[in-house]
């Protein structure tokens, strides 16, 4: 990502845009006002990259006529240009975010994709904060926001599960448990999240904690779904499979 170079040679973004937990724009560590009339424009372009004006106008003003939608887009671009000059780049019939804008959602996608590709965090490094919390644009109910929110939720849960097992392999069991429980908190009825937590407990030798997590999962499934956990999950529990060693369950399944 292109960014401004400081006096010591390091790089920093011109703007920082947060979409997790609510929209917030900052520059030089100072919060920047962003008119409500341009917030959806900024958020949509930030999530979708370079996009044609016709598609942008039709998505953001779906109930308006084509003429009025394009007029609303021109007005929003003008207001944003007055508020944050250069934040959006106009190239012919397309609109794109300036390369010097750092977006927390983009950072989250990049981190999650690295984890899912098998990358391990450096030993001792903190868990990436953006993985743990922050709903995308809470209170926004546009169709394009709902779609992106669900896509992000799914990616985040898969990344958390993968990270929990990776941290357990590094012997960072406390962090691994917290990461796994974060996945459970996002979706308590997701069996693979419970499975990750159980594997971490067993890898650390905490059979009692693994059984407790299994019973929590079992109770939730019975109450909410009228179902039992799958055979795959049940097979992890030593009390159900006494012949199975508990410390060999970090990988697989």
Give domain limits for the chain.
13-99, 103-248
- Residue 84's Cβ-count burial label (10 Å; 0-12, 13-18, 19+) is buried
**Residues ≥6 apart with Cβ < 8 Å to 46:** 17, 19, 97, 101, 103, 105, 106
Count of other CB atoms within 10 angstroms of residue 102 = 16
Q: What architecture is the 103-248 domain classified under in CATH?
A: Alpha Horseshoe (1.25)
Strand-pairing partners, residue 4, are 12
pLDDT digit string, tens, across residues 10-43: 456 789 999 999 999 999 889 998 998 899 999 9
Q: Give 15's strand partners.
A: 101
Confidence of residue 232 (pLDDT cuts 50, 70, 90): very high
Q: DSSP character for 24?
A: E
Taking the C-alpha atoms of residue 77 and residue 81, their distance in angstroms, rounded to an integer, is 6
E strand or H helix at 79 = helix 66-83
Give the pTM.
0.83
- What does the alpha-carbon distance between residue 165 and residue 204 come to, in Å, rounded to a whole number? 11
Per-residue pLDDT band for 191 (boundaries 50, 70, 90) equals very high
pLDDT of residue 174 exceeding 70? yes
The more confident residue out of 50 and 7 is: 50
194 pLDDT exceeds 90?
yes
Domains 13-99 and 103-248 share a fold: no
Does the pLDDT at position 126 exceed 90?
A: no
| pLDDT at residue number 240 | 56
The C-alpha R_g of the chain, in whole angstroms, comes to 23
Per the CB < 8 A criterion, the answer to whether 201 and 213 are in contact is yes
* Of residues 245 and 141, more confidently modeled: 141
The string of pLDDT tens digits covering residues 149-162 is 999 999 999 999 99
CA atoms within 13 A on the CB side of 170: 18
pLDDT digits (tens, 9 = 90+) for 60-110: 999 999 999 999 999 999 999 999 999 999 998 999 999 999 999 999 999
Q: Which of 91, 93, 94 is nearest to 51 (CA)?
A: 94
User: Span 13-99: which CATH code?
Assistant: 1.10.10.10
Residue 120: the pLDDT is 84
Question: What tens digit of pLDDT does each residue of 136-145 get?
Answer: 999 999 999 9
Q: How far apart are CA 163 and CA 130, in angstroms?
A: 13
Q: How far apart are CA 2 and CA 231, in angstroms?
A: 50
């Amino acid at each position: 990502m292109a960014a401004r170079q400081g006096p010591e040679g390091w790089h920093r973004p011109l703007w920082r845009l947060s979409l997790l937990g609510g929209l917030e724009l900052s520059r030089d560590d100072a919060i920047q006002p962003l008119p409500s009339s341009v917030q959806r424009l900024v958020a949509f372009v930030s999530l979708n990259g370079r996009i044609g004006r016709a598609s942008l106008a039709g998505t953001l003003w779906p109930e308006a006529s084509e003429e009025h939608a394009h007029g609303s887009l021109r007005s929003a671009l003008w207001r944003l240009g007055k508020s944050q000059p250069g934040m959006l780049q106009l190239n012919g019939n397309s609109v794109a975010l300036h390369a010097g804008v750092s977006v927390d959602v983009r950072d989250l996608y990049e981190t999650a994709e690295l984890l899912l590709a098998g990358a391990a965090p450096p030993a001792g490094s903190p868990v990436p904060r953006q993985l743990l919390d922050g709903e995308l644009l809470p209170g926004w109910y546009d169709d394009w926001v709902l779609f992106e929110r669900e896509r992000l939720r799914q990616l985040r849960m898969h990344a958390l599960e993968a990270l929990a097992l990776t941290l357990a392999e590094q012997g960072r069991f406390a962090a691994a448990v917290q990461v796994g429980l974060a996945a459970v908190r996002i979706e308590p009825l997701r069996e693979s999240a419970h499975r990750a937590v159980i594997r971490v407990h067993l890898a650390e030798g905490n059979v009692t904690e693994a059984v407790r997590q299994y019973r929590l999962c079992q109770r939730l499934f019975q109450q909410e779904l009228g179902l039992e956990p799958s055979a795959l999950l049940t097979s992890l529990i030593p009390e159900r499979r006494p012949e199975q060693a508990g410390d060999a369950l970090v990988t697989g399944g």
